[in-house]
Amino acid sequence: MRLLLSTAILFSLYFTGLTWGQSSTADAYYASESPVAKTNLLANIGPSGSKSQGAKAGIVIASPSTTNPNYLFTWTRDSALVFKVIIDQFTLGLDTSLRSQIDNYVGAQKILQQVSNPSGSINGPALRATALITWANYLNSHGNASYVTGTLWPIIKLDLDYVASSWDQSTFDLWEEVSSSSFFTTAVQHRALREGARLASAIGQSSSSYTTQANNLLCFLQSYWNTAGFVRANTGGGRSGKDANTVLASIHTFDSTAGCDAATFQPCSDKALANLKTYADAFRSIYSINSGIPSNQGIATGRYPEDVYFGGNPWYLTTLAVAEQLYDALIIWKRQNSLQVTSISQPFFSTFVPGIATGTYSSSTSTFTTLTTAIKNFADSFVAVVAKYTPSGGGLAEQYSRSNGVPTSAVDLTWSYAALLTSDMARNSIVPASWGAAGLTVPTSCQGSGGGGAISFTFNVHAETVFGENIFVTGNLNELANWSPDNAIALNANNYPTWSVTINLPASTTFQYKYIRKFNGVTTWESDPNRQVTTPTSGSFVENDTWR
């Protein structure tokens, strides 16, 4: 008689309230699922992957799905995130059999980087730069400087130059849906330029322009923080701003040497924790499978609460991202033997110790032990949700149904498998190499990539609305969507009837703008004439208006 419980039975025991707790479920799930995820991830990489036949060497397919939806494409974003995992596993000594995969990726990206596309003849995403910089740093420290300077640096430099020259131009968000500035994009661009400058210096290349623009990006990054206590994911798009984009940015810019730095939104920083709670809680009432789950237990989370793609379901990778941020935070708290509760993060910590006072709690206190134990269980409970809705065989699709947890959308999503592997590494306190986030100072004023100054500009407008109606602003600047009602900047109603948004605008610039209303698919513009204002030479500015 077999005494070994199957993973499915173990999960069933946990969710029917028997003796298995979150940690036992997470232990069992990672033990069984990590090898499956690794195998399935590699299966989606050409030329020898079992599910990527026909793909060239080093090419990552997003998914083998060819219909409903067709994801048989290679996306630079997904490829870079996947190969960052592969490179980390090799450089950290977890799997030294991956060298040929990395070499294939380098060769493929050298070609793809210069394929003409709507962005021009060169495309330079920050995520690819980060993956290749991690590889370059490893090789440079292991006596292969000639390959770094001769093969890797020319590819990396094109990416860094692209980011440095165009970071302040509107782009699409992480989900390729909103044309505006995006927190995730700004965060990973900042990281790429910061670590790119370090690599350049190490191999005798010029780095000053990368450092200059990294400082400007760090300054701009602060503008996404919303006084309501969360990170506004995009500067446009007409949504609440609560988005997995922000949690993914925190884990993909994690630097264990930076502690709980709030300027770079490190996972254990007060702003990142407050944002995590706001993001996760946004899904507690909108998914049927989350019904009845208490606030100190994990739930299924998706991209953003307004999502309607394939029915707007939870995603495996976003639910795992919540757990990973918490695991990253635990690494730092245990390393520094303390944690700090601020007025910003107090609502997050109150989930586990109601009414907890602000202050610093050392590892010798019972409060530290209570919090870290509870937060570890909290993180594991998000993993348990993923485990519950993972089908037999361990295949991870893109999404799982909001009503019954059945996998849906693209099957075998490569990014889902990468997310499983990175969260497992974080749970085991395996940290990636530092990228230079420690000890940074936020500049007092921002400049754009062209060197012109930028100021923090707040639009406030008194506008009474009906339920479901929202207020936007647009104008004759790129930052204001160039009069596009579709891409107009959404204002928040946190201080209703005053609607507000803060964005960076060029200094010493006269511009025109108007507010618009959107309701039930109908857009209504303010009365003429256009509003006009001149931004100051530096600092910040608040414009108070009334709808007309």
Q: Which of 378, 393, 428 marks a domain boundary? A: 428
Provide the token pair at 295.
């606030």
Provide the token pair at 395.
């295949």
- What pLDDT score does 10 carry? 38
Average pLDDT over residues 264-290: 98
pLDDT at 7 over 50: no
* DSSP 8-state class, residue 151: I
pLDDT at 64 over 90: yes
Average pLDDT over residues 447-451: 71
In-domain check, residue 443: no
- What pLDDT score does 156 carry? 97
- Residue 176 designated active-site: yes
Q: Give the span between the Cα atoms of 472 and 210, in whole angstroms.
A: 34
In-domain check, residue 440: no
Q: How many residues does the chain have?
A: 548
- What pLDDT score does 121 carry? 54
Considering 159, 173, 380, 412, which one is annotated as catalytic?
A: 173
In-domain check, residue 77: yes
In-domain check, residue 436: no
| 326 touches 375 (CB < 8 A) | yes
DSSP of 373-413: HHHHHHHHHHHHHHHHTPPTT----SEE-TTT--EESSSS-
DSSP of 424-477: HHHHTT--PPP-S-TT----SSEE-TTS-EEEEEEEEEE----TT-EEEEEESS
- Residue 173 designated active-site: yes
- What pLDDT score does 13 carry? 37
* 385 and 460 together in one domain: no
pLDDT for 352-371, tens place per residue?
A: 999 999 999 999 999 999 99
CATH number for the domain spanning 529: value is: 2.60.40.10
Share of the chain above pLDDT 90, in %: 77
Whose structure tokens read 């485990």?
387
In-domain check, residue 7: no
Q: Give the span between the Cα atoms of 457 and 477, in whole angstroms.
A: 13
Per-residue H/E/C for 69-103:
CCCCCCCHHHHHHHHHHHHHHHHCCCCHHHHHHHH
Q: How confident is the model at residue 477 (pLDDT cuts 50, 70, 90)?
A: confident
Q: Give the span between the Cα atoms of 438 and 450, in whole angstroms.
A: 27
Name the maximum alpha-carbon separation found in the chain.
Answer: 83
Q: Give the span between the Cα atoms of 476 and 61, in whole angstroms.
A: 40
In-domain check, residue 449: no
Domain that holds residue 466: 454-546
* 346 and 478 together in one domain: no
* 422 and 469 together in one domain: no
Average pLDDT over residues 211-235: 91
pLDDT for 76-105, tens place per residue?
A: 999 999 999 999 999 999 999 999 999 999
| 396 touches 414 (CB < 8 A) | no
In-domain check, residue 1: no
- What pLDDT score does 117 carry? 66
| Nearest C-alpha neighbor of 547 from the set 497, 480, 505, 510 | 497
Q: Give the span between the Cα atoms of 315 and 48, in whole angstroms.
A: 28
- When the pLDDT of each residue in the chain is averaged and rounded to a whole number, the result is 91
Whose structure tokens read 């739930």?
299
| Nearest C-alpha neighbor of 533 from the set 510, 515, 517, 516 | 510
pLDDT for 28-62, tens place per residue?
A: 999 999 999 999 999 999 999 999 999 999 999 99
| Nearest C-alpha neighbor of 508 from the set 486, 537, 485 | 537
* 152 and 270 together in one domain: yes
Structural domains of the chain, count: 2
pLDDT at 380 over 90: yes
Beta pairing, strands 453-462 & 470-475: unpaired
SS3 content of the chain, % helix, strand, coil (to 5): 45, 15, 40
pLDDT for 110-153, tens place per residue?
A: 999 988 766 555 566 899 999 999 999 999 999 999 999 999 99
Q: Between the CA of residue 365 and those of 259, 285, 377, 378, what are the distances in Å?
A: 20, 35, 19, 20
CATH number for the domain spanning 374: value is: 1.50.10.10
CA angle 35, 246, 214 (to 5 degrees): 105
Q: How confident is the model at residue 71 (pLDDT cuts 50, 70, 90)?
A: very high
* 393 and 459 together in one domain: no
| H or E stretch covering 226 | strand 225-226
* 472 and 325 together in one domain: no
- What pLDDT score does 11 carry? 37
* 110 and 165 together in one domain: yes
- What pLDDT score does 118 carry? 61
* 462 and 420 together in one domain: no
* DSSP 8-state class, residue 58: T
* 403 and 527 together in one domain: no
* 394 and 492 together in one domain: no
In-domain check, residue 101: yes
pLDDT at 274 over 80: yes
